[in-house]
Amino acid sequence: MQNKQEKNNPRPAPVSAVRAGIRFTAILIIFAGCCQDLMCRTDTLPKPSMTSNRLITLEYFHPEAIYGSSCAEMTGAKPPGKDRKTIGTKFILPAVFIAYGTAARFNRLPVRGLDYDIDREISKHVNRRYAADDYFEYAMPALAYGLGFIPGVNGRHSHRDRTLVMATSLIVMKGSVEALKRATAVERPEGGRRNSFPSGHTAVAMMSAHILYKEYKGTSPWIGAGGYLVATATGILRMTNRAHWASDVVMGAGIGLLSAEIGYMMLPVWHSLFGISGAGRQFTALPAIGAGSAGISLACRF
């Protein structure tokens, strides 16, 4: 009976593909952290005082006064005496989701059987398909990007910076998802296509929900809570429609959270690269949507 079940279930991907996915994720985290450290180190320090001709020590300045608001927001810097959230804690939840998705999908452990148990119960009790998850895939990023245009709803960043965060997060998320789909070639529960791992719908929804939380938690915490609820519903519907295994959904959620965090960490890098803070320079970033294509249009005036 066990051999028959293993025969019907998709085979795990080669170990080399799993290692490639893990290395790719680790490289993204290391790259973002190095870029952040480099930007904070290369920012201009206060000039010497004209009266004393001495450089004022850094202890008299709040990090925001030295590096600017973007770097202070990125590093989570706060005035002395207050707790500061380290960068490492931002990656705990994404790392847990990614570790579980990898272990459940590519190792012969008890958690792997949970995929088959959930799919078996769904196939017994659900005999219809729900289309809401397909709408959530596009509605969530549109909401995260456009909510700030509503009068009275103030986001954490400007329209320009939100565009940069969204673009970076989408590129990282989409690149990670497509690379893993091609490398692993996991068959979907419904059969046929071998691009199940991870769930792209869940990754998009969770990335957008995390951006909603980080952008508008100062306006209302319910905005982020609603986003996480919709993202969770998207993952459940992907399993209900037998389009993904449970490990695909968990992995997609981890990639979505990680992509959003990298998008915010890279924001000061783009500021320096495009000279956004420089005098006389202007930078514009707008989404470009055409027939069968979508992208982002960038313009920089020096």
Closest to 270 measured CA to CA, from 281, 280, 256: 281
pLDDT, tens digit (0-9, with 9 covering 90-100), for 245-268: 999 999 999 999 999 999 999 999
CB 252 within 8 Å of CB 198: yes
Tell me the C-alpha to C-alpha distance, in Å, between residue 151 and each of 145, 174, 231, 284: 14, 31, 25, 22
Q: Which two tokens stand for residue 142?
A: 């549109």
Query: pLDDT tens track of the chain, all 302 residues?
Result: 444 444 444 444 444 544 555 555 555 555 555 554 444 444 444 444 444 444 444 343 444 433 344 444 444 444 444 444 556 788 999 999 999 999 887 777 777 889 999 999 999 999 889 999 999 999 999 999 999 999 889 899 999 999 999 999 999 999 999 999 999 999 999 988 999 999 999 999 999 999 999 999 999 999 999 999 999 999 999 999 999 999 999 999 999 999 999 999 999 999 998 888 644 455 565 666 655 666 666 665 54
Paired strand residues for 282: 301
Per residue in 87-99, is it b (16+ CB within 10 Å) or e — as a string?
Answer: beebbeebbebbe
pTM above threshold 0.75:
no
